[in-house]
A and B are shown apart, each in its own frame.
Chain A
């Protein structure tokens, strides 16, 4: 029996990742059914002007376009005045000391305090800048390519994937065949990154069909090494870290511990040959 075409609300909720497992599976079944019809060249079911796949893709494309269009607003520096209501309440003796200082040093202290709060704003801005954009790019790349049934990767693993990526990124790219949790390398693709700095995406899949992506690109400016950071998302979470001029992000719809394991393995692989290193770290594999 052919599955029934999902209605508009269901499609929308599917595209937004708001369905429970059961209903999502129903839509997936319908999508498979539709793909089979397309392959056998059968005419679409009556009344279906647009394939469901196309409608979902259009909805998701709109979401992505909006997110992308509005992403730069997140990177803007935060004015200091917005941070003022948030200052944690000082302990009484600290406040007393501050008052004493204020009275004692007067205008000088006043100007210092003002400058300090402005710097506070600048720090927030600097943290947001670059990193958020990087993580956003990684999330976008994950959201766009992992659902692709036909062509999730541009170059399959086994061909000259790492040679090709290494040449384009102008650094040796390592692509471990497998990551903890039974994640097996599918392949990768080249993506736009920063001007003059292309990005690479590697994709892994486990036995249950969960896909995880590794996004890496050169950063706009060299950054001190950062520890692992996680950005939880509705659909998928991203672990990222920066190693001087290179940023790495691992995105997937897996439990946090599992993602962290995979991220650690990658991190070790990338730094294995160069524990206290200047410059690009990983060894070429190809």
Chain B
């Protein structure tokens, strides 16, 4: 109990980063999501049994909150993503040592559907195992792998492919359909 504060504090930068990518760089929305996640984690602390890392558990809370928000704000979410200017995410980070390729990559990342973005972030960036990712997102491991594979080839096409097209918006559909 004593180290709950520390355990959660350590995870804040990771939660903020993940939320920021989910929210396409909108900082205030992202931090609201982090705050909701932390509050829920504190309230449900007893549910985390201290088995394994606390991070996958926090990501699963955040994922569920985000899905709920999306369901509520379906129309706005579609609108917001549609209006998203290229490279919205790194507006803040650009003042730091980000190279051009990094900016392009982040802009491309924003064009992936949310379910694809989630698996890619959890596995490639946050270093969760396929099993942990599956648990955090409440989908089978096979789904994680197929989404991961699609996420990677889409990202590859967006950053390397010629005439890479702006993908159709299927964020909301993808959010509902599992697989």
Contact = CB atoms under 8 A, between A and B. Distances in A.
Which of A74, A75, A85 has the most chain B CB within a 10 Å cutoff?
A: A85
A69 interface: yes
Interface stretch (A6-14, A153-161, A179-187, A247-255): A6-14
A13 to B, nearest CB: 7
B35 interface: yes
B177 interface: no
Contacts of B93: 72-73, 76
A99 interface: no
Interface string A63-76: 10111111011111
B70 interface: no
A234 interface: yes
- Chain A interface, >50% SS class: helix
Contacts of B12: 78, 82-83, 124
A66 B125 contact: yes
A228 B106 CA distance: 34
A141 interface: no
- Chain B interface, >50% SS class: helix
Interface in B1-51: 2, 4-5, 8-9, 12-14, 16-17, 20-21, 31, 34-35, 38-39, 42
Interface size range of chain A in the complex: 35 or more
A88 interface: yes
Interface string A172-202: 0000000000000000000000000000000
A263 to B, nearest CB: 21
B66 interface: no
A121 B130 CA distance: 33
Given A8-B149, A62-B124, A124-B9, A85 B39 contact: yes
A85 B125 contact: no
Given A70-B21, A234-B129, A83 B124 contact: no
B144 to A, nearest CB: 10
A62 B152 contact: yes
A86 B12 CA distance: 11
Nearest to B20: A73
Given A18-B130, A63-B124, A66-B125, A86 B9 contact: yes
Contacts of B97: 72
B67 interface: no
A279 interface: no
A73 B90 CA distance: 9
A86 B34 contact: no
B145 interface: yes
Contacts of B90: 69
A59 B103 CA distance: 19
B38 A78 contact: no
A124 B10 CA distance: 8
Which of B13, B35, B106 has the most chain A CB within a 10 Å cutoff?
A: B13
Given A8-B149, A18-B130, A78-B13, A70 B35 contact: no
A74 B145 contact: no
Nearest to B1: A88
A16 interface: yes
B31 A70 contact: no
Contacts of A128: 13
B145 A70 contact: no
A69 B106 contact: yes
16 contacts: A12-B145, A18-B129, A66-B105, A66-B125, A67-B124, A69-B90, A69-B103, A76-B13, A78-B9, A82-B38, A83-B9, A85-B38, A86-B4, A86-B8, A88-B4, A234-B129
Interface of B: 2, 4-5, 8-9, 12-14, 16-17, 20-21, 31, 34-35, 38-39, 42, 90, 92-93, 96-98, 101-103, 105-106, 109, 120-121, 123-125, 127, 129-130, 145, 148-149, 152, 155-156
Given A67-B124, A86-B42, A87-B5, 17 more contacts: A8-B149, A12-B149, A12-B152, A59-B152, A62-B156, A63-B124, A66-B121, A66-B125, A69-B90, A70-B125, A72-B97, A74-B13, A74-B14, A76-B92, A79-B31, A88-B5, A233-B127
